Amino acid sequence: MTSKNCFFGFASISIVGAFAFSCSSSSPSAASANPEDPLQQAPVPCNPDSSAPDSSELDSSAPDSSVPDSSAPDSSETDSSAPDSCAPDLPAEPDLPAAQIEPDGFDGNAVDVVTVIRTQEDRKSISPLIYGMNTARAARESDLAPADVLKGTTFIRRGGDRSNSYNWETNMSNSGVENGLANDMFLAEQLDNPSAPGELDRSLIASNLAAGRGTMIPFVLNDYVAATLGSNIPYSPNWDANINKYFNRIELVKPSLFSATPDLNDGVVYTDEHIDFLRHQFPTDIFAPGPARVMVGSDNEPDLFAYNYPMLQRGSGMALYYPAGSNNVVGHLVTGTEFTNKFIIFAKRVKQMAPSAPIVGPDHYHYDGWTTWWDTMPQYTDAGRWYMDDFLATVRAESESIGTRLLDTWDFHWYPQRVFSDTFTWALDNAARTMTADEIDAVVQGPRSYWDPDYDEHSWITDDHLVGPAYILTRLIDRIAADYPGTNIGVTEYFPGGCAHISSGLATADTLGVFGRMGVHVAAMWQHECDLSYAYGGFRLLRNADGQGVAFAGTSVSVEHPEKVESSVYAANDVPGLTTVLVINKTSTTRRFGLRVYDSVSLTDVDVYRIASGSPSPVHVTHEAFTKLNAYAYEAPAMSAALLVLRAH
C-alpha cells in the first residue's frame, strides 16, 4: 500500500474465483483438538456440481503446441476413476427444513436489544479465503504473524509497492519514490539463498504448502524491473538512454522455449517464465483446487505505477517527471486502456499454461483508481460509468470470444480515509498519541462504509466524489454483476486503524463479519507497522478463539438486529444444534443482548470468548447452561467483541 499523498510530476492529486477451495459448508480450522466438534473439523473437499465445471477447472486434454514447455504439471488433469464421496449412490430426496423451535422471549427491561437468529434462512457459504494476511517480503514463519493467528489464516498474499519492480530472476527490487528509488535485495535479504531465481516466491509457497495455506503471488505487469544494485541511480535527462543499465525490460510472454535457469544477461525478464519456473519447483500442481492453492495476482496497485515508479513507465500517456516539480521527464503514463490490454495478454497466457489457475485482479489501490485511473480518463465520472466497468466488459468480451474466463476475482484495497490532524483513520495509533473519542468512533464505525447507505465516513471519497455514504462493497458488487456476472469480489488489503487500541480489534472482527455476510471471496489484512495486538485479537476471535481451533462457522445465516451504530451481530450455523454468534458492543457502556435462536433442536449451553480493553487476546469468560428455550441473555462489557458458541448436547 501507499500513503495517500501523491505527486506524479505532471499533476498534483490527493491520494492517500470462481475457483474451488472446498465445497464443505464448514469453515476450515487449523486445529482439530476434538474431531467430534464441527467447529474444529477440517472441511471435506468435494464437487457438488460436476455437471457445471468452473471455467478455471475445465479439462484441457488437447495439447497446446503454443506452450513452450509441456512437461510442467497440468492443472487440468484429474483422476476420473476417483470416487466422488459427496455423491450418493442413488438420487436423494430433497432435504426439507426441519421444524424450527419458537425461542422464548425476554421480559420487560431484561435486555437492551433483542436479536433474532434464524438458522434455516438466508444461508450462504462463507468463503474460507476471507481470512488472509499480507506480507511484503520474505520472512520466517514466526515473522509473518503470531503462531495462533497463522493457525486461522487461510492464505498469505505477497504484496506491497516493491512488487511492481520485483525481478524474479535475481530477487532484486526498487525501493520506490517514497524510499529513494534504490535497487536492493530488501525483499529477499532474510532468505538462506537470496540470489536463487524465484526464491522469494518459492520459499513462501513452500512454507504455505507445509502449513496447508494458500498463496497469492503478484506477477509483474509493469514495464521494467530492477536489474543492477545501486542507491545513486542517475535519473537524468538522458534516462531513456540509461534505463537499460539499471533495469530490465518486462515481457509478459516469452517467444521462445522456457529455460530451467533464466538468462541473467539478456536484459529481459519474462512474466510467463516466472510462472513456469515456480510450478516446476514442486512435485504437485500448485494451481490445483485445495486449501494450499496458489492464486495468480496481476501485479500490485497498477493505478499507482506512475506514482511509485515514474521512471519505469513506457506508456502512451502524459509525461512523468522526477523529481516531482522538475522538467526531467523519466517516463510516460501507462493509461487505463493500456493496462486493460496488458491484463488480457497476461490472463490469456496464464490460462493457456495453467487452465485452473485462479486469476485475481486488477488489485486497485483506491476509489480514484477504479473510477477514473487517477483522474487521467475524463470519460469516466463519479456519477456515470467507471473505468472498472469498461475493464470488466472488455475482459468479459475477450473471455467469451475464446471460451475461457480470464478473471476469477476482481479485487481492490480499502482503508478508511477520514483525516484527523493530518492522519488518516487507517493510520491512527493510540501508542503514538492518545486517540480522541471522534477518532475511536471513526475506527469502530468504519466497517459500515462497506455496506451501510446511512453511514458517511466524511472522507475525500464521500465528501468530494460520492457526495454521501460510500457503501462501497454494495456499489462494487452491483457493478460487477452488471459488467461481468459470475466474477467474485476480493479485498486483498484492508486495515481499519486504531493501533494499540481495542477499537482496532472491534473493527477487524466487524470487517470479517461484513465480508462473510456479503459474500466477499478473498480478503487479506494489511499488517500496518504498529502494535497489532488488538487487530490480531479480532482476527483470532473468529478463527482461533480458544487457541485450539474454535472458530466462527462457515455458513452465514439470517440475523435480525435493529442496531447499526451501537452494535453489530453476525451468526453462522453449519449443522443443527451448533450456532456461532459474533456480538460487538461499540459503546462505552455495558449492554445486554437478548439472543433468540430459531433452530430445529433445543440448545443447552453456551461458551463465550471475548476481547476487550486490556484483553487483546480472546479469553474464555463463561460456560453456562441455557435457562430459556433457545434464548440467551448476554451482557457485553463496554467496547468488547465476543464469539458465542451455542450448542445442543
Tell me the pairing of strands 247-251 and 224-226: antiparallel
Residue 75 burial (10 A CB sphere; 0-12, 13-18, 19+): buried
Question: For cell 445465516, what's the residue?
Answer: 557
Could you write out the DSSP letters of every residue in 192-228?
Answer: SSTTSTTHHHHHHHHHHHHHT-EEEEEE--SSEEE-S
Could you write out the DSSP letters of every residue in 537-577?
Answer: HHHHHHH-TTSS-----SEE-EEE---SSSEEEEEEEEETT
| Residue 295 DSSP SS3 | strand
Alpha carbons within 13 A on the beta-carbon side of 601: 13
Dist. CA 148–CA 609, nearest whole Å: 15
Contact 147, 543 (CB under 8 A): no
How many other CB atoms are there within 10 angstroms of residue 525's CB atom? 27
Three cell numbers at 149? 493467528
Q: Along the chain (649 residues), what's the average pLDDT of each consecutive run of 10 residues? A: 41 33 34 44 36 37 38 39 36 62 95 98 98 90 90 97 98 96 96 96 96 98 97 90 96 97 96 98 97 98 96 97 93 98 98 98 97 97 98 98 98 98 98 98 98 98 98 98 98 98 98 98 96 98 97 98 98 97 98 98 98 98 98 98 97
pLDDT value for 242: 92
Closest CA to 39 of 549, 508, 480: 549
pLDDT value for 111: 98
pLDDT value for 331: 96
pLDDT value for 237: 80
Dist. CA 583–CA 595, nearest whole Å: 10
pLDDT value for 96: 52
How many other CB atoms are there within 10 angstroms of residue 32's CB atom? 14
pLDDT value for 157: 98
Dist. CA 219–CA 200, nearest whole Å: 12
pLDDT value for 86: 34
Three cell numbers at 278? 515456480
Q: Mark residue 325 as left, alpha or beta (left: phi above 0; alpha: psi -120 to 50; beta: remaining).
A: left
